[in-house]
Amino acid sequence: MVQPAVSWMRRNWKRAVLGTVLSGTLLGYFALTLPVIPYMITDLKEKQRTAQDDALEHIKTLWGFLVWFPKNKVRDLLGGDREQKLFIVNKAKQRIFIYDADKNLELIIPTSTGRHQGTKTEYEQKVTPPGQYIAVRRFNQKDLRTWFGHKKAPEYGNGMLLFLGHWFPNIAVHGTLPEWEKYLGHERSLGCPRVGRAAMGYLLDHAAIGTKMVVHEYAILPLEVQPMFSFTDYARQEGLTSTAQLEKAKRFFLDNNPHARSLDNLVTGAPYFFKDYNGDGRIGN
């Protein structure tokens, strides 16, 4: 019994090794892409409900999920010191709040989101759709020229982080032209959250693929910025009258404060130091 088994192993060891390697690769690939599945599903469902419901748009979403994310995530894992961050895009305040991997508030960046409000149902609408996203690809200036051409690439500044979750691949955090930085802090973009060149340079160097992004329309600030927050005052200012409206605002408040376990038990930890990227591109404390 032993001899036939040894003979079989000698004849088929290459096949056995190859099968083991392939199995391990597939398991690793599945584990790597698993966190992206909810964002991919949301993106596909949203396109099905809108004018973007066609095969090509679905292929774009699947390409971002199956190709771009794992490829670029592996690159980040193999080299570099980037970390997975959390971007909270506050459309009401036109600011992006950047949290580090430990959920400490790190940066506050002026942004310019879509000039139109409401729900995005067509590509031409200049809306930054609220919701949750995950970064799947990074573009430097060379990548921008290759992707958009030398004439159009400068409109995206010095780089871009492309996010999957809604209307992929049409929502990204990207830079802008120097003469357009004066519009940061105002709703002037075609849909993507724009940032200054200094801020974009920092994000390209420090934000890893897999960085999460939350976009919302509520005038709610992190506790580090607005420590005394009254839901009664907020509801009155915003005209929230129904329980459902107020509960939705509360959920976004928790999204904006990663340390908060609940509204009754806020855990913010020690005071945080953060940098503020001013609209003119200078870094201020």
Per-residue pLDDT of the chain (285 residues; tens, 9 = 90+): 556 666 656 666 667 677 777 777 777 778 888 999 999 999 998 888 776 668 888 999 999 999 999 999 999 988 878 999 999 898 888 989 898 888 788 888 899 998 776 666 666 678 899 889 999 999 999 999 999 999 999 999 999 999 999 889 999 999 999 999 889 999 999 889 999 998 999 999 999 999 999 888 877 667 666 655 566 666 777 777 777 777 777 666 666 666 554 444 433 332 232 333 333 333 333
Residues 6+ apart with CB under 8 A from 181: 196, 197, 279, 280, 281
Q: Is residue 30 part of a domain?
A: no
Instruction: Please indicate, yes or no, if residue 28 is contained in any of the structural domains.
Output: no
Rg for the chain, CA atoms, rounded: 22
Number of other residues whose CB lies within 10 A of the CB of residue 222: 24
H helical segments located in the chain:
2-33, 37-48, 55-63, 69-78, 141-148, 197-206, 231-238, 243-255
> For the chain, how many structural domains are there in total?
1
- 78 φ, ψ to 5°? -80, -25
Which whole-number Å values give the CA distances from 168 to 60, 231, 273, in the listed order? 7, 34, 34
Q: What angle (nearest 5°) sits at the alpha carbon of residue 111, between those of residues 109 and 116?
A: 155
Residue 136 within any structural domain of the chain: yes
Say if CB 128 and CB 117 are below 8 A apart: no
Assign residue 202 the CATH number of its domain. Answer: 2.40.440.10
CB 68 within 8 A of CB 136: yes
Q: Is residue 79 part of a domain?
A: no
Task: Report the pLDDT value the prediction gives residue 259, as an integer from 0 to 100.
Answer: 53
Give the per-residue pLDDT at 71.
92
Is position 24 within any domain? no
Say how far apart CA 68 and CA 29 lie, in whole Å. 12
Other Cβ atoms within 10 Å of 26 Cβ, number: 10
Contact between 197 and 155 under an 8 Å Cβ cutoff? The reply is no
How many other C-beta atoms are found inside a 10 Å radius of the C-beta of residue 8? 11
| Residue ranges making up the domain that contains 214 | 86-221+271-284
79 contacts: CB under 8 Å, gap ≥ 6: none
